[in-house]
Amino acid sequence: MKRLKPFSYVEPTTVQEAIQVAAEKEGGTCFLAGGTDLLVRMKRGEIHPRSLVNLKRIRGLNQIEREPKEGLRIGALARISEIEHSPRVASSHPVLVQAAGLLGSPSVRNLATLGGNVGRASPASDLIPSLMVLRARASVEGPQGKKELAVEQLFLEPGKTLLSPAEVMISFFIPEMAPHTGAIYLKLGRRSAVDCALVGVAALLTLSGIKRE
């Protein structure tokens, strides 16, 4: 591990404050959520942010809510363990519970967040494939206002999204699954489920012509 270079640290209490702080820094800012990946990369000397903006004090970003007849909305700061054990998620989109349970160790899942996992844009992400087959959309807010994107539209290349340094992920909306629809996530690691996925595959299937006797 390398010695960390000096950086400023801010704990905003609103999304607007977080955006303003990041915009004023003009680059070199990283948003901190769970920190399971960011802090490790800083200690390894892979990245050297000039400022860390901790989002943990912003209320409402960790909520998991059902929108009747519409779908499920999961806040970007919802912990992976919260998704794994959420009755709301299990009843409507069980594949997300399955994928969340395969991400890292229990200690990692207790810290890592959905927004952090998606924002890392890692090809080894356990959540991104399931979000994609479920047609999830990400809500983002920045200096130019709010926008919503399909999850697959977020990524430019491994490790890089199209979000500007001052844009914050707010939540993810997952529409209701059609009747007679199921989804599954399968992961292949080197040794066990706690490893990063060498291959992660999500699939969704809808059956038609089903008649109830």
β 64-67/71-75 pair status? antiparallel
What would you report as the CA-atom Rg of the chain, rounded to the nearest whole angstrom?
Answer: 18
Q: What is the pLDDT of residue 189?
A: 72
Encoded amino acid at 27, one letter:
G
Residues 30-41 pLDDT 10s: 999 888 888 888
**Inter-residue contact 44 to 123 (CB < 8 Å):** no
Residues of the chain with pLDDT under 50: none
From 107, 74, 105, 104, select the one nearest 88 (Cα to Cα).
Answer: 74
Beta strands in 78-154 (DSSP E): 137-142, 145-150
Strands across the sheet containing 8-10: 8-10, 51-54, 29-32
Q: What is the pLDDT of residue 213?
A: 54
Q: What is the pLDDT of residue 42?
A: 86
- How far is 200 from 24, CA to CA, in rounded Å? 38
Q: Does the pTM of the predicted model rise above 0.85?
A: yes
* Residue 66 CB burial class (10 angstroms; 0-12, 13-18, ≥19): middle
**Residues 6 or more apart in contact with residue 118 via CB below 8 angstroms:** 76, 125, 127, 128, 131, 138, 151, 154, 169, 172
Considering the chain, what is the average pLDDT of its residues? 91
Q: What is the pLDDT of residue 143?
A: 95
* Third-level CATH fold of 61-206: 3.30.465
